[in-house]
Structure 1
Amino acid sequence: MADAPALAAIGDSEFDRDTAVVPRPGEPGVYDCALSGGWTIIAAVNGGYLLALVGRALRDALPHGDPLTITAHYLTPSQAGPAVVRTEAVRTGRSMSTGQASLYQFDAEGREVERMRVVAAYGELDALPGEVRTTARPPRMPAYEQCLSSADGPEGGPVSGSQDFLDRIDLRLDPATCGWAVGAPSGRGEMRGWFGLADGRPHDALSLLLAVDALPPTAFDLGLKGWTPTLELTVHVRRRPAPGRLRVAITTRNLAGGLLEEDAEVWDCEDRLVAQSRQLARAPRG
Structure 2
Amino acid sequence: MSEFDRDIAVNKNGVDTYAAELAPGWVVGGGVNGGYLLAVVASALRQHLPTKPDPITMSATYASASTPGPAEVRIDVRRDGRSLATAIAELWQGDDLRLTVLATYGDLAALHAAGEPLEHVTAVPPDLPPREQCLAASLAPDRMRRTAPMLERFDMLFHPEQVGWAVGAPTEQGRISAWYRLADGREPDPLSLLQVIDALPPVTFDFGMPGWAPTLELTCHVRHRPAPGWLQVVHATRHLAGGMFEEDCEVWDSAGRLVAQGRQLARLPRVR
TM-score by length of 1: 0.91
Answer yes or no: is 1:103 the counterpart of 2:84: no
Give, as a single letter, the amino acid of the residue that structure 2 aligns with 1:227. W
C-alpha distance in 1 between matches for 2:173 and 2:146: 23
* 8 Å contact kept, 1:58–1:100: no
* 8 Å contact kept, 2:217–2:266: yes
Give, as a single letter, the amino acid of the residue that structure 2 aligns with 1:124. D
C-alpha distance in 2 between matches for 1:90 and 1:151: 44
- Give the corresponding residue for 2:11: 22
Quick check: 201-210 or 218-227, which moved more?
218-227
Deviation at 1:160, TM superposition (A): 4.1
C-alpha distance in 2 between matches for 1:99 and 1:240: 21
Provide the secondary structure at the position in 2 that maps to 1:78: coil
- Give the corresponding residue for 1:199: 184
C-alpha distance in 1 between matches for 2:140 and 2:221: 32
Q: Deviations over 1:56-83 (max 9, x none)?
A: 1111112411000001101000000000
Deviation at 1:155, TM superposition (A): 3.6
* 8 Å contact kept, 1:154–1:182: no
2:82 to 81, 87, 94: 94
Q: Deviations over 1:84-125 (max 9, x none)?
A: 11011110111100111000002xxxxx11000001001111
- Give the corresponding residue for 1:236: 221
- Once the two structures are aligned, what percentage of the paired residues are identical? 51
- Give the corresponding residue for 2:261: 276
Provide the secondary structure at the position in 1 that maps to 2:135: coil
Deviation at 1:151, TM superposition (A): 2.7
Provide the secondary structure at the position in 2 that maps to 1:210: helix
* 8 Å contact kept, 1:61–1:89: no
Deviation at 1:255, TM superposition (A): 0.2
Provide the secondary structure at the position in 2 that maps to 1:232: strand
1:67 to 31, 55, 77: 55
1:161 to 123, 135, 147: 147
C-alpha distance in 2 between matches for 1:160 and 1:181: 15
Give, as a single letter, the amino acid of the residue that structure 1 aligns with 2:42. G
C-alpha distance in 2 between matches for 1:117 and 1:230: 13
Give, as a single letter, the amino acid of the residue that structure 2 aligns with 1:161. T
- Give the corresponding residue for 2:108: 125
CA RMSD, Structure 1 to Structure 2 (Å): 1.1
The total of aligned residue pairs comes to 266
Higher helix share: 2
Give the unaligned 5+ runs of structure 1.
Answer: 1-11, 107-111
Answer yes or no: is 1:116 the counterpart of 2:99: yes
Residues 166-185 of structure 1 mapped to structure 2, 5 A cutoff: 166-185=151-170
